[in-house]
Amino acid sequence: MMGLCTDYRGQLEASMQDELCDAGFYAQIANEAPTEELRELIIRIVGDEYGHARLQASLLGICPAKVSCPPDCPTAAGDFCTDVEAAIQGELGAIRRHAELAMRAPTLKICYLLMTILGDEYAHARIWTAMLQALCEQKPCCKG
């Protein structure tokens, strides 16, 4: 169980830091949003990502993490469609990461919490994809 905890702890810490990076990246994308409605949707996703990081930080109390520096977080490219495409890829990666964490969770309750985050990430991927599709319908030259 100790080996599982050590591996789990490192992966959970990396996941928490990734959620914080996503919150910052998405906040930058919100500033690029072409409409107020899209900006508000993105701000809600920012809140979800921050909440995911807080939940994972609280789970780290089970297996306290070592102090580490946050990773280099991505910055928005300044092009809404390009950044939304990056967000979709990030959400798909987060789905995979949370599935792996849930499989390694030390308890069923923690597994359930991580699966809840996984569900949120899936919903975010769908929202980002719908945003991109809506924009592509308005711009025939869109590559989506």
> What are the chain's domains?
2-138 (1.20.1260.10)
Residues 74-111: pLDDT tens digits? Answer: 899 999 999 999 999 999 999 999 999 999 999 999 99
Does pLDDT of 66 surpass 80?
no
Q: What is the DSSP secondary-structure string of the chain?
A: -HHHHHHHHHHHHHHHHHHHHHHHHHHHHHHH-SSHHHHHHHHHHHHHHHHHHHHHHHHTTTSPPPP-PPPPPP---S-HHHHHHHHHHHHHHHHHHHHHHHHH-SSHHHHHHHHHHHHHHHHHHHHHHHHHHHHHHH-TT---
Does pLDDT of 142 surpass 80?
no
Predicted TM-score of the model (pTM)? 0.86
- Round the average pLDDT of the chain to a whole number and report it: 88
Query: Average pLDDT for residues 56-81, to the nearest whole number?
Result: 79
